[in-house]
Chain A
């Protein structure tokens, strides 16, 4: 089902040309610009594949190309990440059943040189961190190339229909989707060269140049050469253990946002949300906005972690929040039909007799994110596990340069925080990289200092203390 009405976004205007795709031989209507898995979801298809060993059904989970839960056979080719591969008219799509054979009678590829692009700085990731970095570097005269594997710029922002908190100059009061548009326009105006649907697959040192190898539209290889690389690849959703947590319909919060806020697709009819942090609470509100019923939010902690105003709003709208509760299992044949929750004791053990069952078709996991550090790891940056930053992160200095000279990091990929800090870190990384490549004047050191101060101020609250403790563990001091 597609959303016809939405208080904030007019999807009828956003949708592209109508096309027809074939799912296991059946024609299905889709719109140009829409990824395959999202179009299938709109047509009511939840099961995308079956696992190789246990033959368990799998569906969408992250919707940003990071979990491999959506692999399908597209035009005879197995292992396609359908959540970030756009539909094309006449496409043939099959469920992937275990390990698939490779296509027969294939010709050897024509082998030519990869398309090469040259510049000063390569930014990987076009979320708030990457965009802010690109803008600042370009503003100082660097030739910047920005690549993102999603079809749209803005990263997590493109899913945020709510107004942001924070400082005025950090876009407080502006809706996330709008911030994404503003940043994207500014980057283009400043001459940043943008490559969408382009996945970075590796960072290599080639002579005195850095080279980012990337694959465009799943088909062709590109090489980006420059003197510095800024990694702003964001984060991916965490999973928690419970029975049947792989059942189609157990979705990451981000995936649900992508479905409804980016593509105007109804994620489901009745949703149980796990996690009452910011993301869970905001997600509840966004679901209600899109006319989807939220049966409850469960939260293992004794208190709600999300912003008070949002939580209050949710309660007013009649959504119960069960603190000190957890999800025990998902139930259903091939897809989620029910969710069972229970109260937990001080030792986090479920208390017998407190189980509650909800009829739902979606279980939304809003249990946190972890930094996407795969490229940094591949590039040889030193990683450390820091609980306060939600996972493995790379060591870096005050200017966001990692342990590998010329590789910078910014945003959620340097530790899970918020868009505001992501943008500040991006600005610092962009300016520092521009300095390193010899484009920016030393005067920008003062500007860098200002953003460092802003970061400190922003992190001075109680939540920030926690983050600061984490950052201290990765910081390389001069």
Chain B
């Protein structure tokens, strides 16, 4: 392992890896990524693969608009097919109040050029003929939303970063960070020490522990909650293209994988704060019930996999992204709740701009890590779970 680096990124999930790639792309050298287990092992490999621009606030919509542009071009840029498919996101709406909220959101999304729209239950059924539209009064649909393969996305970013000279160390855990007079001196790992002047905390569910190592004096409340997902056996591809969401059914979401044909999805049941990730029967049964209410034919499918992972939650479900003033050259990008996978391309670009250029045109202010301490919570991010 090297003993010196200009930048040490802690966390080998989609956020840490995409930051490493974007920094290197902007000409930064001497970058190291530390991952205590294998790449993607935190939340990224356990996510539901969904990518959407249908948020309810200006910042997330803008960030996601940029992200989707990058996702669309990712195969070109990183030289690897990450199976990004624009099957759309279809929110099923069951009452006037829900409809009103979504009408407002659609208007805001349209303002930024996201082509979402409110459609009738009949139109929804045309998009997904297997859908049970009983009780559905309308739906919000955006055909440029979609999904990508988290496994492939991680490897695409990791390989592209390596090609640009980034060193990635798996099974290497950051144990401590030495700071003197407000300046970072080194990162101590279980495999040795690395002298460095810059640390990026991309440890998501474990981010508070990294903050503590560096003595970050700001309170950034990020807590790990256990959320789960399932995958079914495959059936004819193309029958359920969009990610279907129903808040009426406790935030259930599901889509058919573009390449393999199984359904993946979950719902809002959560446990915690906890670092336990044992899957539960309560979830298995709860998710089967909700899936089969929305797509009745799913009752014939076998579940072939169930797993759990973390939503690293903040009080407003928005991440903490930015520079920490009290520790020179310490950055954080963590606490992504249920939408860190989709946001990674734009977030990493913004962080790299902030570090290299000293500023970014993207609305990173929205994710200000100091907002909690100031009591300035954002509007709750739209999310399932």
- Residues in A lying within 8 Å of B, measured CB to CB: 52, 77-79, 98-104, 106-109, 111, 114, 201-202, 204-206, 211, 213, 221, 380
The answer on a CB contact under 8 Å between A99 and B236 is: yes
The answer on a CB contact under 8 Å between B289 and A79 is: no
The answer on a CB contact under 8 Å between A202 and B239 is: no
- Check B273 for interface membership: any CB of A closer than 8 A: no
17 contacts across the A-B interface (CB closer than 8 A)? A78-B300, A79-B233, A98-B236, A100-B236, A101-B235, A101-B239, A106-B299, A109-B292, A109-B296, A111-B292, A201-B303, A202-B281, A204-B280, A204-B281, A211-B281, A213-B281, A213-B284
The 3 closest A-B pairs by CB, nearest first: A102-B297, A204-B281, A101-B236
- Check B41 for interface membership: any CB of A closer than 8 A: no
- Check B132 for interface membership: any CB of A closer than 8 A: yes
Of A52, A111, A205, A211, which is within 8 A of B234 by CB? Answer: A52
The distance in angstroms between the C-alpha atoms of A294 and B292, with both chains bound, is 50
Q: Which residues of B in the span 279-297 have a Cβ within 8 Å of any Cβ on A?
A: 280-281, 284-285, 289, 292-293, 296-297
Binary per-residue interface labels of chain B (243-281) against chain A in the complex, 1 for a CB within 8 Å, 0 otherwise:
000000000000000000100000000000000001011
Of A78, A111, A213, which is within 8 A of B235 by CB? Answer: A78
Look across to chain B and name the residue whose beta carbon is closest to the beta carbon of A223. Answer: B281
Of B292, B300, B302, B306, which is within 8 A of A108 by CB? Answer: B292
Of A99, A106, A107, which is within 8 A of B261 by CB? Answer: A99
The distance in angstroms between the C-alpha atoms of A79 and B302, with both chains bound, is 9
Shortest Cβ distance from B98 into chain A, in angstroms? 20
For B237, list chain A residues within 8 Å (CB).
Answer: 99
Contact (A100, B281) CB under 8 Å given A106-B296, A108-B132, A111-B289: no
The answer on a CB contact under 8 Å between B130 and A102 is: yes
The answer on a CB contact under 8 Å between B281 and A106 is: no
Q: Which of B233, B285, B297, B298 has the most CB of A within 10 A?
A: B297
Shortest Cβ distance from A200 into chain B, in angstroms? 13
The distance in angstroms between the C-alpha atoms of A202 and B280, with both chains bound, is 10
For A202, list chain B residues within 8 Å (CB).
Answer: 281, 284, 306
The answer on a CB contact under 8 Å between B284 and A104 is: no
Shortest Cβ distance from B306 into chain A, in angstroms? 8
The distance in angstroms between the C-alpha atoms of A213 and B298, with both chains bound, is 19
Interface of chain A, main secondary structure: loop
The answer on a CB contact under 8 Å between B296 and A107 is: yes
Contact (A380, B234) CB under 8 Å given A77-B300, A99-B261: no
How many B residues, CB 8 Å from partner? 28
Binary per-residue interface labels of chain B (127-146) against chain A in the complex, 1 for a CB within 8 Å, 0 otherwise:
00110101000000000000
- Residues in B lying within 8 Å of A, measured CB to CB: 129-130, 132, 134, 233-237, 239, 261, 278, 280-281, 284-285, 289, 292-293, 296-303, 306
The distance in angstroms between the C-alpha atoms of A104 and B297, with both chains bound, is 7
The answer on a CB contact under 8 Å between A79 and B132 is: no
Look across to chain A and name the residue whose beta carbon is closest to the beta carbon of B289. Answer: A111
Shortest Cβ distance from B351 into chain A, in angstroms? 37
For A100, list chain B residues within 8 Å (CB).
Answer: 235-236
The answer on a CB contact under 8 Å between B281 and A99 is: no
The answer on a CB contact under 8 Å between A79 and B239 is: no
Shortest Cβ distance from B287 into chain A, in angstroms? 13
Shortest Cβ distance from B284 into chain A, in angstroms? 7
The distance in angstroms between the C-alpha atoms of A111 and B294, with both chains bound, is 13
The answer on a CB contact under 8 Å between A108 and B281 is: no
Q: Which of A101, A202, A205, A211 has the most CB of B within 10 A?
A: A101
For B234, list chain A residues within 8 Å (CB).
Answer: 52, 99
Look across to chain B and name the residue whose beta carbon is closest to the beta carbon of A98. Answer: B236
Look across to chain A and name the residue whose beta carbon is closest to the beta carbon of B300. Answer: A77
The distance in angstroms between the C-alpha atoms of A201 and B285, with both chains bound, is 12
The answer on a CB contact under 8 Å between A104 and B278 is: no
For A108, list chain B residues within 8 Å (CB).
Answer: 132, 134, 292-293, 296, 299
The answer on a CB contact under 8 Å between A102 and B293 is: no
The answer on a CB contact under 8 Å between A104 and B129 is: yes
Look across to chain B and name the residue whose beta carbon is closest to the beta carbon of A199. Answer: B302
Of B129, B281, B301, B306, which is within 8 A of A79 by CB? Answer: B301
For B306, list chain A residues within 8 Å (CB).
Answer: 202
The answer on a CB contact under 8 Å between B278 and A380 is: yes
The answer on a CB contact under 8 Å between A102 and B280 is: no
The distance in angstroms between the C-alpha atoms of A211 and B281, with both chains bound, is 9
The distance in angstroms between the C-alpha atoms of A74 and B296, with both chains bound, is 18
Contact (A102, B239) CB under 8 Å given A79-B233, A79-B301: yes
The answer on a CB contact under 8 Å between A102 and B281 is: no
For B292, list chain A residues within 8 Å (CB).
Answer: 108-109, 111
The distance in angstroms between the C-alpha atoms of A380 and B237, with both chains bound, is 32
For A204, list chain B residues within 8 Å (CB).
Answer: 280-281
The distance in angstroms between the C-alpha atoms of A111 and B292, with both chains bound, is 10
The answer on a CB contact under 8 Å between A206 and B281 is: yes
For B280, list chain A residues within 8 Å (CB).
Answer: 204
The distance in angstroms between the C-alpha atoms of A103 and B292, with both chains bound, is 13
The answer on a CB contact under 8 Å between A102 and B129 is: no
The distance in angstroms between the C-alpha atoms of A104 and B131, with both chains bound, is 10
Look across to chain A and name the residue whose beta carbon is closest to the beta carbon of B298. Answer: A102
The distance in angstroms between the C-alpha atoms of A102 and B352, with both chains bound, is 46
The answer on a CB contact under 8 Å between B300 and A103 is: yes
The answer on a CB contact under 8 Å between B235 and A99 is: yes
For A211, list chain B residues within 8 Å (CB).
Answer: 281
Shortest Cβ distance from A218 into chain B, in angstroms? 9
Shortest Cβ distance from A264 into chain B, in angstroms? 30
For A102, list chain B residues within 8 Å (CB).
Answer: 130, 235-236, 239, 297-298, 300-301
For B302, list chain A residues within 8 Å (CB).
Answer: 79
The distance in angstroms between the C-alpha atoms of A440 and B188, with both chains bound, is 53
Shortest Cβ distance from A131 into chain B, in angstroms? 27
Q: Which of A108, A109, A114 has the most CB of B within 10 A?
A: A108
With A106-B297, A106-B300 already in contact, 13 other A-B pairs whose C-beta atoms are closer than 8 Å? A101-B236, A102-B300, A102-B301, A103-B297, A109-B296, A109-B299, A201-B303, A202-B281, A202-B306, A204-B281, A205-B278, A221-B285, A380-B278
Shortest Cβ distance from A229 into chain B, in angstroms? 14
Look across to chain B and name the residue whose beta carbon is closest to the beta carbon of A213. Answer: B281
The distance in angstroms between the C-alpha atoms of A78 and B301, with both chains bound, is 8
For B130, list chain A residues within 8 Å (CB).
Answer: 102, 104
The distance in angstroms between the C-alpha atoms of A79 and B235, with both chains bound, is 8
For B134, list chain A residues within 8 Å (CB).
Answer: 108
For B233, list chain A residues within 8 Å (CB).
Answer: 79
Shortest Cβ distance from B295 into chain A, in angstroms? 8
The distance in angstroms between the C-alpha atoms of A379 and B212, with both chains bound, is 34
The distance in angstroms between the C-alpha atoms of A99 and B258, with both chains bound, is 13
The distance in angstroms between the C-alpha atoms of A295 and B213, with both chains bound, is 71
Look across to chain A and name the residue whose beta carbon is closest to the beta carbon of B302. Answer: A79
Look across to chain B and name the residue whose beta carbon is closest to the beta carbon of A113. Answer: B285
For A109, list chain B residues within 8 Å (CB).
Answer: 292, 296, 299
Look across to chain A and name the residue whose beta carbon is closest to the beta carbon of B292. Answer: A109
Look across to chain B and name the residue whose beta carbon is closest to the beta carbon of A76. Answer: B300
Look across to chain A and name the residue whose beta carbon is closest to the beta carbon of B305. Answer: A378
Shortest Cβ distance from B150 into chain A, in angstroms? 21
For B281, list chain A residues within 8 Å (CB).
Answer: 202, 204, 206, 211, 213
Shortest Cβ distance from A148 into chain B, in angstroms? 18
The distance in angstroms between the C-alpha atoms of A206 and B132, with both chains bound, is 32
The distance in angstroms between the C-alpha atoms of A215 and B130, with both chains bound, is 25
Shortest Cβ distance from B186 into chain A, in angstroms? 35
For B300, list chain A residues within 8 Å (CB).
Answer: 77-79, 102-103, 106
For B129, list chain A residues within 8 Å (CB).
Answer: 104
